[in-house]
Structure 1
């Protein structure tokens, strides 16, 4: 069994895989953030592009192949629930680049339009 990189402790197949395959929509901002982290860890640029709000999505590559994502720690959230249309999720993601550890800390903004959550960018 392969554990999901998002840190849920669940198998990938019963966690973020259903979102990556388009079988379900992440119901909350936190769920989308975890699925996006997993997409970075697994190299799923298609999912990242589909869940990045068009107003802020970069035009170039979304994945840096020199990074190997190793851990995700959610540190907070505001809004982003089942009945909300905006929210933020704070996290620290750890990675390796050429064997050297690093981390990315961000408070990400999310918006829901037409029933789908999208990543807007850092708050």
Structure 2
């Protein structure tokens, strides 16, 4: 599969079949990890609306501006707890690689997620 067709989240599917289906609203992410991956992909493809829509209302900012000149280059899932198909809370620890104005860096976070009304939301970093 050409690199341009691969999903930014790192799973081996094309973007349209992977995180694209969540970004377009065709499906909701069924697990905390898939929501986290889809949020990473939203940063990578420049989709702040999806990021805000999957941010829990109690912690969501009023607006979100993505940094021009920031390119997301890779994602590693380091671990997690809960967050499965039959659970309502979970954490996902990850390392996101990016380049900002030509300088490579990483962001590592352990994120908290909750499911409400059948939909997963990002709450905050732990």
**TM-score normalised by L of structure 1:** 0.96
Query: Where does residue 81 of structure 1 map in the other structure?
Result: 84
Shift of 1:64: 2.0
Quote the offset at 1:27 in angstroms: 0.3
Listed as ranges, the gaps of 5+ residues in structure 2 are none
Question: 2:98 — aligned with what?
Answer: 95
Aligned counterpart in structure 1 of residue 39 of structure 2, from 36, 39, 50:
36
Post-superposition shift, 1:63? 1.9
Cα distance change, pair 6–27 in 1 and its aligned pair in 2 (3 A): same
Task: Please name the residue that 2:19 is paired with.
Answer: 16
TM-score (norm 2): 0.94
Runs of 4+ more than 3 Å apart: none
Does the 8 A contact of 1:67 with 1:96 survive in 2?
yes
**Structure 1 residues 89, 21: closer, same or farther in 2, change over 3 A?**
same
Q: Name the CA distance, whole Å, in 2 between partners of 1:63 and 1:108.
A: 19
Matched, 1:49 2:29: no
Q: Deviations over 1:25-82 (max 9, x none)?
A: 1000000000000000000011001000111112232422231110000000100000
Match of residue 105 from structure 1: 108
Quote the offset at 1:122 in angstroms. Answer: 0.3
Q: Residue in 2 aligned with 1:60?
A: 63
**Root mean square deviation, CA, Å:** 1.0
SS at match of 2:6: coil
* Cα shift readout 1:101-120 (whole Å, capped 9, x = no counterpart): 01100000000000000000
